[in-house]
Chains A and B, each alone.
Chain A
Amino acid sequence: MSFLTVDRLNQVYTDVYTNEHTVAIDDVSFTIPAGEFVSLIGPSGCGKTTVLNIVAGFVEATGGAVQLEGVPVAGPGPDRGVVFQDFALFPWKTVLANVAFGLKMNGVGKAERQATAQEMIDLVGLSGFERKFPHELSGGMRQRAAVARVLATEPSIMLMDEPFASVDAQTRRVLQQEVLRIWDLRRTTVLFVTHDVDEAVFMSDRVIVLSTRPSQVQADIRIPIERPRSWTDMHTNEDFVSIRRELMGMLGVEGAEVAP
C-alpha cells in the first residue's frame, strides 16, 4: 500500500535566454508507504530540490507522474506541508499568525485556529514567543515555527528541503531530535531532503540515494535502528556506523574517513 508514488520522474530545464537544456533528473521512481520517514540524499545539484518541488506542486515535471493516495498531484495544496530551508515565514505576521495561516486559508474560525496554533506552538517548544515577529527569533526558533505552521494544517505528508542547513551545528542536532519526537507522536509521512549523510541515517526509516545529474535512484537503504533515537549513543551504534560508511562510499567521500 503505497501512499506516495513517484513514477519515472524526469525534469529538463530550459534556459530562457540561451535555450540550453539541462536534464536535472533523468528517471526517478520510488514509493513511500504511509507513516514512513524517508530521506532523499545525493550530491549537490543532483536534483533533490527539484524532486521535492515537483511533489509539492511548485514545479510541473516534464515527464512522469506523482500520486498521493492514488490521486495525481496538480499544483500546491495543504495536503502536502512544506518546510523550507529559508523558513519562508511571513515577516509581517507574528509567530501565532504564521502558525494559524494555513487554518485561516482553509476557513477555520478565529477561536479554533488560535487554539490549534497555540497547541502546535507548545508542541514545538515556542511557548512565550507567540507575539514575536520572525525577525526577532533565532534561526532554530524560526525553523520550529515553520514546522508548527505545517503541522497545524495536519498534512498527509510533510516535505522538508534541507530544513536545518541554515542553523548552527549544535542547534541542528537538537532540532533533529525534536522533529523525531514530534514525528513519533503523529507518525505523519515525511519526505526529507538533505545532503548530510549523518542526518539522513539518524532521522529516517529509509534513505534513497540519487546519483549525480542527470539523476536516477542509485540505492534505497532501510535503516533498522530502533526508535526513539538519540545522538548520545548514535556513534557507537553499529548499524549507524556501517550504513553511514556505505552511504559515504556511494557519495564518493570515503577519503574523509581515512583523513586524520
Chain B
Amino acid sequence: MSVQTTAKTSRPDPPRRTGTSAAARWRALRRRPLVTTLFPFAVVIAVWAVVAELGVFPSAFFVGPATVADSLLTSVQRGILPAYIVDSLTRLAVGTGVGLLVGVALGFLIGLNRHARRFSWPLLLFFQAIGDIAWLPIVIIWFGFSLTSVTVVIVYTVVFPLIISIVAGLDAIPTNLLRAASSLGASRWRMFWEVYVPGALPGLSSGVRTGLGYGWRALIAAEIIIGTSGVGFMMFDARRQGDVSHVFVGMAVLGVLWYMTDALVLAPLEKETVERWGLVEGIGR
C-alpha cells in the first residue's frame, strides 16, 4: 500500500570486468550502494548552488546551499534546532508507540475474529477516511493547544493503516500453511504465535511504514497549527518572518530524519525478518 514497500527491481549484476580504465573504475564505483545513493544528491546540490549563484530567483524566495548551511549551523549553535528536533521526535515516538500498541492489538483482533471484523470493518474504512488532520480542531477544543492534542492526532494516524495492513497480512497467509500447522497438532495459542504473528509481519511492517509516513505529516501540520515548538513550528515561524533559509533548513532536516528512521530502525528490522524469510524483496532499497 505504501510506495516504500514496492519490491525493488532485482537485476543481477553483470559479471565484473577487471578494467583499469577510469570508466571501468567509475562503473565499479557506481555499483556501491552508498555512492549510487549519495551521488544524485551531490548533483542536485551542485545544480541548486549554481541556480542560486546565477540569481535566477530573488533571494527572498530562494537561497543557495551555502546560505542554508550557514543558517543550519547558527541554529544548531544556538541550540534551537536540536531542541526542536528533540521535541518533534519525542512527540512522534510517543504517538507512534501508543499507536503501535493499540493498532497491533486491534489489528489481530479484527483480523482473526469474524464477528469483530464484520462489525468494525465499515467503521474502520470510514474513520480512516476522515483523516487525522481533520480531527485537529475538535481535539484542540478538547485538550487545548497541548502535547496531548498532538499525541492524540498521531495515534489516530498510525492506528488505521496498521490495522488495515495487519488484517491484509493475516488474510494473505496461505490456507495450506494454517492447515499444515493444525495437522501437525498446533493448538490455537500455538497457531497464533507460530503462524499468525510471523505471517502477519509483512503486513505489519508495511503498515508501520505507511503509518509513520502519515504520522510525521500530521505532526508537522499539528506543529504549524498548534505552534509552540518543533521542526514544523520552526519552518512556519521562519515563513512568517520571510526567512526562507530556515524553511529550507527545516525541509532538509525532515528529509534526513526520515532517511535515518528508515535506515537505522525500519530497514534493519525488516532485513532480519521478512526479507530473510523471503517474504518480500529488499523493502525500500
Contacts and interface: CB of A to CB of B under 8 A. Distances in A.
Determine direct contact between A and B, CB below 8 Å: yes
A101 B190 CA distance: 11
B113 interface: no
A149 B184 contact: yes
Contact of A88 (B179, B194, B201): B179
What DSSP secondary structure best describes chain B's contact surface?
A: helix
Given A88-B176, A90-B177, A105-B190, A82 B183 contact: yes
Interface stretch (A8-16, A19-27, A129-137): A129-137
B116 to A, nearest CB: 20
Of the candidates A77, A78, A92, the one having the most CB atoms from chain B within 10 angstroms of its own CB is: A92
Interface residues of B, number: 23
A129 to B, nearest CB: 15
B194 to A, nearest CB: 7
B90 interface: no
Contact of A90 (B185, B195, B276): B195
A88 B174 contact: yes
Given A91-B277, A101-B181, A105-B187, A84 B176 contact: yes
A91 B201 CA distance: 12
B131 interface: no
B185 to A, nearest CB: 4
Given A77-B185, A102-B185, A92 B198 contact: yes
The contact size tier of chain A is 20 to 34
If over half of A's interface residues share one DSSP class (helix, strand or loop), that class is named, otherwise mixed; here it is loop
Nearest to B198: A92
A29 B276 CA distance: 46
B184 A101 contact: yes
Given A102-B184, A102-B185, A105-B181, 15 more contacts: A57-B183, A58-B179, A75-B182, A76-B179, A76-B182, A81-B184, A82-B183, A84-B179, A86-B176, A89-B180, A90-B180, A90-B194, A90-B198, A105-B194, A153-B184
Interface of A: 56-58, 75-78, 80-82, 84, 86, 88-92, 101-102, 105-106, 133-136, 149, 153
